[in-house]
Amino acid sequence: MLAKMRFLIVLVLVVVLAGSAAAQEAEGSIRVVQIVYENADIWIDDAAAVESLGYSFTTDYLPLAAGTHNITVTPAGEGAEAGIRLDLDVEVDHSYALITMVGTETEAAHLMVIDETTQLGAVEQTGSDAIIVQNVPGAPPVDVHFIDKLVIEDLIYPGYGVAGAPLGAFIARATPAGNPDATFFEADYFAVEGTTALAYLAGRFPADITRYFFVTGTANLRDYLTAHTALENSSLTTFFAALTASGLADTLADESAGEPAFTVFAPNNAAFEALPEGTLAGLMTNAEALKTVIGYHISPTYALPQSIVGENTLETLAGVPLNTSIEAGKSFTINGTTNVLLQMRMGNGVIYVVDSVLTPPE
């Protein structure tokens, strides 16, 4: 009898633990791109989830249990009853992008949902995925071209398109639908193996059109930079060469924290070319000085824009802090003069491409 009771207890524990594990695994994830309010709060099922997400910023992916959830985006400081909201059906192992879309005289601001898992799984697999969001009221339908290939047709406001992107650096163009010779908008684009780029056009047609560009992936920072600099026309080859020579590249491969733990400010090739003649060559032959300079571009903290809005300092591997200044939707500068151009979020940190080489104070 005692043995039977023990067996039943063990069986119950197995069932309970298995159910608990299944419940933990039964989740998806969402990220929110915010381009309506100067600063916004995000509510999930009427509970505060993210505070003061600035204009043109995006969250990391937030885990959500499978099922239906109410998502609300409100002006910062206002309650969950304000703002724009929708009910989102979350499927297991699906990732979603929620885009705040600006309103017009006839259409209120609203949230647009992109089931990234479903949508990107249906496009040509090139190694890198692209999501293009059309958030420009008044703009005509446009076609999107990667190099000379038409990849998205008749993209209208409010809407989005998805495509596979050819690996490498190239010019992406938006043209009036059916008229490939009349460029409406063009911008640099780069596609790296294992990444997804989300680009969206914002503003008012025909003037003041702005493109925001975010890249996400799961590789560690070192491996991502290795892949990026293998691309033809990569803009980060000089930085990566200096990073490798400094001995700090392997630091950026550290995934032991189990979550993002680094911030890298990576000067593009043009920034190194702008240095006084002989400066870079001198650094490359001075191991200690090179490690200090490159270390000054790396912070052992994970600093997303929304977490450091305003005036802040970040510790660096050089042991000297650098200063950041962020005005949401307008500027992101380092040490008062260096501008952040792009951001890439990887498995263990974030990279900001900057337009000048940072010099640690003496």
246-299, pLDDT tens digit by residue? 999 999 999 999 999 999 999 999 999 999 999 999 999 999 999 999 999 999
Same structural domain, 145 and 114: no
pLDDT exceeds cutoff 70 at 14: no
The mean pLDDT of the chain is: 90
Same structural domain, 183 and 297: no
For CA atoms 170, 176, 179, 184, the dihedral sign is negative
Same structural domain, 54 and 118: yes
Question: Residue 76 is encoded by which pair of tokens?
Answer: 């910062």
Letter string b/e over residues 73-89, b meaning 16 or more CB atoms within 10 A of that residue's CB: bbeeeeebeebbbeebe
Average pLDDT on 324-334 reads 88
* Domain end residue (candidates: 95, 122, 149): 122
Question: What was the pLDDT predicted at 329?
Answer: 73
Question: Residue 102 is encoded by which pair of tokens?
Answer: 């600006």
Residues 6+ apart with CB under 8 A from 67: 89, 90
* Domain end residue (candidates: 89, 105, 122): 122
The CATH number linked to 97 is 2.60.40
186-208, pLDDT tens digit by residue? 888 999 999 999 998 888 787 77
pLDDT exceeds cutoff 70 at 18: no
Residues 6+ apart with CB under 8 A from 20: none
Separation between Cα atoms, residue 301 and residue 263, nearest integer Å: 6
Helix 237-246, helix 221-229: angle, nearest 10:
130
Separation between Cα atoms, residue 301 and residue 312, nearest integer Å: 13
Kindly tell me the number of DSSP H helices and DSSP E strands found in the chain. 7, 24
Confidence of residue 23 (pLDDT cuts 50, 70, 90): very low
Same structural domain, 51 and 149: no
* Domain end residue (candidates: 87, 122, 157): 122
The CATH number linked to 167 is 2.60.40.1120
Examine residue 17 and state whether it is found in any structural domain, yes or no.
no
Residues 6+ apart with CB under 8 A from 266: 225, 236, 239, 297, 351, 352, 353, 354
269-279, pLDDT tens digit by residue? 999 999 999 99
Give this prediction's pTM.
0.88
Host domain of residue 208: 123-216
Same structural domain, 36 and 104: yes
Name beta bridge partners: 128.
Answer: 195
For CA atoms 338, 340, 341, 343, the dihedral sign is positive
Q: Where are the alpha helices (DSSP H) in 70-220?
A: 116-121
Per the CB < 8 A criterion, the answer to whether 76 and 52 are in contact is: yes
